């Protein structure tokens, strides 16, 4: 029961790459008084009971009675302070997930929040809202908006409206260009809900990603890897080529569906845009131009007719970037079933990218980065 059940749920979905990549997603358990939410920096696949942060639900609810500043930086800082203040005694050293407020909005005992490619094929598509309404008439749809307090408050008003109109609490919430919340009162109920959603979506798919490996031009790949590693100051570079990548790197036009990030995860691990190189001879110059324009180095580089290169400060960093951009590609293919991709809005990309800088700065300030 309770905490052991949420540990089980976390392990089950956290170790399945269909649901969770690179430490993403979060879970919670609640009773009348307390919310137990996944702590920041823990991973669902391996979390233990003590990895959850015990919080006072009453204190969290009080956040909605307060008025916060309009300025987003000041507002988020104050909300975060109040959220930290809602931790129970003995939990001081832990840091609750940034999505804590969302978890507390549901009355259900168990909450699972994940960003699966299959679901994001809908949330990142042009027809996302229509498709959700048609396939899941009882689900809530929330438009892409600033993460943090604004997103939580948008979800709150939608959930309350649903409750007033139907007399019951919604148990499914889709977030545009982000992911999904599942809410249930038992593990069994949660599993049934998850499989209902996944099977319903699967039944709609006429086009699915084809990740069949394609033989690369080994000589060209090695040459590019060397040039990239040195242009990026000794970065680790990983190469991938499959049927989807082959089709995307035929030309800049073919590359268009994955030119912009689909969800915040893609920005966090792969930066706000990949680099497309038309002519392998110009890679060093293109990397320089990219870093002049963006103020950072690219993490994902597509070279025309060659394939995809994922770059990172070490093997793990490069592998994570690769995994996330493969996820981006999957989403772009799934979205073809729903009128094509709708990447994140430009202002949201900038917002998240800046937020990342801020959180990096704050870690530096705490001496953790
Ligand atoms: Zn999320």
Range 254-261 average pLDDT: 94
Ligand 1 mean position, distance from CA 365 (Å): 25
Give the orientation angle of helix 149-166 with respect to helix 72-85, to 10 degrees: 70
Contact 247, 275 (CB under 8 A): no
- When pLDDT is averaged across residues 287-310 and rounded to a whole number, the result is 93
Distance from C-alpha of 105 to C-alpha of 172, rounded to nearest angstrom: 12
Tens digits of per-residue pLDDT, 326-359? 999 999 999 999 999 999 999 999 888 877 555 5
- Domain layout of the chain by residue ranges: 2-202, 218-365
How many A from CA of 113 to the centre of ligand 1?
6
Q: What spacing in Å lies between the alpha carbon of 40 and ligand 1's midpoint?
A: 12
Q: Token pair 């050293």 is at which residue?
A: 93
Q: Look at the domain 218-365 and name its fold.
A: L-fuculose-1-phosphate Aldolase (3.40.225)
Residue 312 in contact with residue 299, Cβ under 8 Å?
A: yes
Provide the edge-to-edge strand list for the sheet that holds 52-56: 52-56, 34-38, 26-30, 110-114, 179-184, 172-175, 140-142
Q: How far is the CA of 135 from the centre of ligand 1 (A)?
A: 22
Residues with CB under 5 A from ligand 1 (ion): 179
Out of 133-147, 152-166, 217-231, 268-282, which region has the weakest mean confidence (pLDDT)?
Answer: 268-282
Residue 139 CA, ligand 1 centroid: distance in Å: 17
Share of the chain above pLDDT 90, in %: 81
> How many A from CA of 115 to the centre of ligand 1?
6
Kindly report, residue by residue over 74-125, the tens digit of the pLDDT: 998 899 999 999 999 999 999 998 889 999 999 999 999 999 999 999 999 9
Q: Is 310 helix (H, G, I), strand (E, B) or coil?
A: strand
Confidence of residue 22 (pLDDT cuts 50, 70, 90): confident
* Among 9, 3, 4, CA closest to 189: 9
Taking the C-alpha atoms of residue 59 and residue 246, their distance in angstroms, rounded to an integer, is 52
Measure the CA–CA gap between 75 and 69, rounded to whole angstroms.
5
pLDDT tens figures, 154-211: 999 999 999 999 999 999 999 999 999 999 999 999 999 999 999 999 999 999 999 9
pLDDT, tens digit, for every residue of 6-16? 999 999 999 99
Residue 364 predicted with pLDDT over 50: no
Q: Which CATH class is domain 2-202?
A: alpha beta
């Amino acid at each position: 029961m309770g905490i052991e059940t949420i540990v089980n749920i976390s392990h089950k979905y956290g170790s399945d790459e269909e649901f969770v990549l690179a430490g993403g997603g979060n879970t919670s358990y609640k009773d009348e008084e307390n919310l137990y939410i996944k702590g920041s920096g823990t991973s669902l696949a391996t979390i233990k009971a003590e990895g959850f942060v015990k919080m006072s639900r009453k204190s969290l609810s009080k956040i909605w009675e307060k008025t916060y500043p309009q300025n987003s930086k000041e507002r988020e800082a104050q909300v975060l302070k109040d959220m930290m203040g809602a931790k129970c005694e003995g939990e001081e050293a832990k840091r609750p997930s940034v999505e804590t407020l969302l978890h507390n909005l549901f009355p259900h005992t168990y909450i699972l929040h994940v960003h699966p490619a299959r679901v994001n094929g809908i949330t990142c598509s042009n027809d996302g809202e229509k498709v959700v309404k048609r396939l899941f008439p009882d689900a809530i749809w929330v438009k892409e908006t600033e993460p943090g307090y604004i997103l939580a408050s948008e979800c709150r008003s939608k959930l309350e409206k649903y409750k007033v109109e139907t007399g019951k609490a919604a148990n499914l919430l889709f977030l545009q260009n982000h992911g999904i919340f599942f809410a249930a009162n038992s593990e069994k109920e949660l599993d049934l809900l998850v499989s209902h959603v996944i099977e319903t979506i699967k039944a709609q798919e006429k086009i699915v990603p084809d990740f069949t490996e394609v033989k690369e031009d080994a000589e060209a790949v090695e040459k590019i890897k060397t040039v990239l590693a040195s242009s990026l100051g000794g970065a680790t570079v990983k190469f991938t080529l499959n049927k989807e990548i082959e089709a995307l790197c035929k030309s800049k036009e073919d590359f268009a569906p994955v030119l912009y990030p689909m969800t915040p995860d893609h920005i966090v691990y792969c930066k706000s845009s990949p680099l497309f190189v038309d002519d392998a001879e110009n890679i060093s110059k293109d990397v320089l131009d990219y870093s002049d324009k963006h103020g950072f180095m690219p993490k994902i580089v597509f070279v025309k007719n060659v394939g995809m290169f994922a770059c990172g400060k070490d093997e793990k960093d490069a592998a994570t970037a690769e995994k996330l951009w493969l996820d981006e590609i999957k989403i772009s293919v799934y979205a073809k079933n729903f009128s094509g991709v709708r990447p994140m809005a430009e202002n949201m990309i900038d917002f998240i990218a800046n937020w990342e800088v801020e959180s990096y700065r704050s870690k530096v300030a705490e001496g953790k980065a």
